[in-house]
Amino acid sequence: MDLLRQEDEPFDYVGKYGTQTGLFSLKIHYNGQFGIKNQNLCYITGKVIYVDFMDTDMFCIHDVNDAMRLLGFSEDKVHHFYFVVPGSEIHSGLMSLSTDDDSMV
């Protein structure tokens, strides 16, 4: 089962996840930067990839680190992770993700 998916690859959520309601796809923006566009905070440039088959009950910071390793990022380098609270916009729901407790939204 492939876990990483490019942004433009089609994905049949119903066909893949079926009735397994505890699974989700994590959308990762990387190799870009935060900036202001039309007076709003946004993430500009960079790339997007999805990590599929994430489990809501088991999700932790190690899953993000694992995904970054799969993308070729070194563990020796310091990385800063952020997420947008589901249902929020980046300008009002951007949160730091550095511990497992941070992912319990």
For the stretch 40-68, pLDDT in tens is 899 988 999 999 888 888 888 888 888 88
- Look up residue 63 and give its two tokens: 């899953």
The number of domains in the chain is 1
The answer to the question of residue 8 being in a domain is: yes
The answer to the question of residue 102 being in a domain is: no
Cα separation, 21 vs 55, in Å, equals 9
Cα separation, 66 vs 73, in Å, equals 10
pLDDT tier, 32 (very low <50, low <70, confident <90, very high otherwise): very high
The answer to the question of residue 12 being in a domain is: yes
Average pLDDT, integer, range 83-104: 87
Average pLDDT, integer, range 15-36: 88
pLDDT for position 102: 84
Cα separation, 72 vs 93, in Å, equals 28
pLDDT for position 1: 46
pLDDT value at 77 more than 70: yes
Domain range spanning residue 18?
4-76
